[in-house]
Amino acid sequence: MAFTLILGGARSGKSRHAEGLVARHAAPWAYIATAEAWDGEMRDRIAQHQARRDARWATIGAPLDLEGALDQAGDRPALVDCLTLWLTNLMLGEHDVAAATIALEAALDRRAAPTVLVANEVGLGIVPENKLARAFRDQAGLLNQRLAARAATVHFVAAGLPLVMKGEA
């Protein structure tokens, strides 16, 4: 089944928008979480996201294995939040980003249920000052382009307002 890609900046409202899109389908839903709670601030962010979800959401932790998590979601509508943290985990762990992306695409191709992917658009700001940050920005941009080309629908969210860039609302 075709998937939807939601792009936006930090705190733009993209996760809330994505949750609303998934909730248009019959529950139960799968929330595939890629974040890892490395510090208190990240634990707080994760808790805020969890507080918005009720018992109709089943959380699947997937800091690296999105392919397995999407397969585990089965026939439930699924939300992946977020690809940018997943990419961070891959890069910091020195995993093969190209192979992981191919595996993600294969899992998306196998899905029959609605799927919504969330990613940050990180290329709108200044050029990062260090090599790792520039490599991350470049990889994130390439990943977003690759998935946007395959997505049936792409939304960009700014200030909580979605803009349909591709497909239908």
- The residues annotated as belonging to the active site are 49
Alpha carbons 166 and 145: distance in angstroms, whole number? 12
Contact call for residues 143 and 87 (beta carbons, < 8 A):
yes
151 Cβ partners below 8 Å, 6+ apart?
A: 2, 3, 4, 5, 117, 166, 167
Q: Of 62, 56, 60, nearest to 74 (Cα)?
A: 60
Long-range contacts of 20-23 (CB under 8 A, 24+ apart): 21/116, 22/77, 22/78, 22/79, 22/114, 22/116
Alpha carbons 24 and 35: distance in angstroms, whole number? 24
Alpha carbons 40 and 134: distance in angstroms, whole number? 26
